Structure 1
């Protein structure tokens, strides 16, 4: 029997697992290899930090979803890939063979250039690591009676949302001694998003007394301090590292074609450009039509990936896909309000939060207990 391996539990693989739950892949043994039994949906993580959601409301049970699709689950991470033998070496010491491989492991945090960051800061990824460590940080803040300086390093959508969510949590918990600083490399937060949205969020940070430091690039961490290429060091009691996405080392080391940053180059069918029996989607992929690292594109790639894996398993030609030109950004502001940005258009208010909340809840529910219905 031939073997399809799904490597990683990212957004695109959720659609593959849902497809398999509705209609198993005849004549193939399917295995999911991923480090965690659940996926914490990143779009709802700031809402959990702010106190709007319980963590279970943000979680998709990969083990249950795999079971419904008759997919074997191996809870471990990939450490190496051998494309001559078609095997995956895993962190638990096991070796997983495959005939067809689909990769949706997501990105790694872009921290390799920051000495000391793992010793002195809390990375946002892997999300399970952050979720496990956050209650301890909450306890530290609550117990400290004098000023507590919290730094959020990274001013993309995730960093901005976390800074605003922490402000909301501080108001709820009575952390009047908490001082939050957001640091980014551009002049304003949210580089790449429409100018009006960036200016509005910059004003919102100022209104909430969240200190903004722009045009800074960190070079090293020391105990309670970040050093930069220019400007004074910034001290902290705790720091969240919310930097951009980085590629894992093993795709390039295995001989997969990658872009200069190490992300797997795929064509419009999502097949790796030099290895057609390997497919990739989500942030680990470098699409032929270049797109930003955004969960939106991973979600949209999911149904295409599911169809093409099914086609390849039958010996049929996979279908091409061109990602949409732009993504809709829905950025929560911590207080059950949100900002929407689409190209040069910007909207904000409580109704945007309700819109985002409905989309997020529906996304999680789509992969819940009723997945197998309607096959």
Structure 2
């Protein structure tokens, strides 16, 4: 009997479960290991914060999806690997054997360089912890007019979060902090300028060209000595790799992400696959849910081929990704390469895409 272990319930593994629900793997026992019973879809998280969705609208229940796929679900966190014995070590002390292993655990929040972040910051990852703390922030702000918040990180995720909080909490004192001149760095200049105008129109403070140095109970200290007052500090500072892949002996890049080739196999251990933000692809791409979702189908196909002893297929992510960025008010911005647009119809477009994605993996969408 062969054993396939899916470590993590990320977006790519959701596709693998969907594929297994339609076509089981012969003579193969499959186990999904995830610390949470659900996968919250990050693309809909700002809509939940803004009040457009319930949390249930944004969540894929992993246990029912695993059951439909004939997969055993173990609720635990993977904390290490014994690659020689081919075992996954879990935080409950158990060890799960594997013939083949696929890793889609996602990253952590990159906050190590910010002093005080562990004690005083609210990192966006893991998302399950984040939603609990956002609930607490919303309750505190609703009860206390003096409540204030600062968001460190002005990429698409930080910008969306700022506008979602503004939609939910119209009077909250709110500041967005970024290291670049304008928010949405890397996207078209027209979109960056529009983002800056939206921040001003929504009375969200903008502090650009500065990096956060430390967080304390009163807010954020910046690299120029400036202090941004805030009773709550949210960190949307990009992705960092967990420690255990490198400690286990997997080949990683300089940042600790698992290096994989075009077939999504580890470059050091061919029985190990990785996808999503925890992977460092042969052709590097930004850490984005867009690429994690797109990796799902080729990962499912190559796992099937590997177990069957067939030749694997190379995969290369598309060079451009469509970015759909909600602005908290049932409108959205869109960017494709150098092109950008915005409007209420962009939100409706994004909403249809997101709901279709969720419906595919719901019990009724199978």
CA RMSD of aligned residues (A): 1.1
Superposed, 1:184-203 pairs within 5 Å as: 184-203=178-197
Q: What is the distance in 2 between the residues matched to 1:102 and 1:187?
A: 39
CA contact (8 A) 1:120 1:224 kept: no
The residue matched to 1:79 in structure 2 has which SS? strand
Q: What is the distance in 2 between the residues matched to 1:70 and 1:273?
A: 29
CA contact (8 A) 1:21 1:371 kept: no
- In the alignment, which residue of structure 1 is the partner of 2:85? 85
Offset, 1:371: 5.0
Q: What is the distance in 1 between the residues matched to 2:75 and 2:160?
A: 30
Matched, 1:151 2:145: no
The residue matched to 2:363 in structure 1 has which SS? coil
Offset, 1:326: 1.2
Structure 2: unaligned runs, 5 residues or longer: none
Q: What is the distance in 2 between the residues matched to 1:345 and 1:231?
A: 37
The alignment's TM-score, normalised by the length of structure 2, stands at: 0.98
Q: What is the distance in 1 between the residues matched to 2:115 and 2:291?
A: 31
- In the alignment, which residue of structure 2 is the partner of 1:44? 44
Superposed, 1:211-360 pairs within 5 Å as: 211-360=205-354
Offset, 1:115: 2.5
Q: What is the distance in 1 between the residues matched to 2:161 and 2:341?
A: 20
Offset, 1:111: 1.6
The residue matched to 1:36 in structure 2 has which SS? coil
CA contact (8 A) 1:110 1:246 kept: yes
CA contact (8 A) 1:22 1:371 kept: no
Matched, 1:183 2:182: no
Offset, 1:130: 1.3
Q: What is the distance in 2 between the residues matched to 1:225 and 1:211?
A: 14
The residue matched to 2:324 in structure 1 has which SS? strand
Offset, 1:5: 0.3
Q: What is the distance in 1 between the residues matched to 2:134 and 2:288?
A: 24
Offset, 1:142: 1.1
CA contact (8 A) 1:282 1:295 kept: yes
Offset, 1:118: 2.2
Matched, 1:131 2:131: yes
State the aligned residue count: 366
The alignment's TM-score, normalised by the length of structure 1, stands at: 0.96
Offset, 1:225: 2.4
The residue matched to 1:321 in structure 2 has which SS? coil
- In the alignment, which residue of structure 2 is the partner of 1:104? 104
Offset, 1:290: 0.9
The residue matched to 1:324 in structure 2 has which SS? coil
CA contact (8 A) 1:155 1:184 kept: yes
- In the alignment, which residue of structure 1 is the partner of 2:2? 2
Q: What is the distance in 2 between the residues matched to 1:216 and 1:267?
A: 36
Q: What is the distance in 1 between the residues matched to 2:156 and 2:334?
A: 11
Offset, 1:143: 1.1
The residue matched to 1:272 in structure 2 has which SS? coil
Higher mean C-alpha deviation, range 58-67 or range 215-224? 215-224
Q: What is the distance in 2 between the residues matched to 1:191 and 1:360?
A: 24
CA contact (8 A) 1:340 1:352 kept: yes
Q: What is the distance in 2 between the residues matched to 1:85 and 1:101?
A: 12
Q: What is the distance in 1 between the residues matched to 2:313 and 2:114?
A: 41
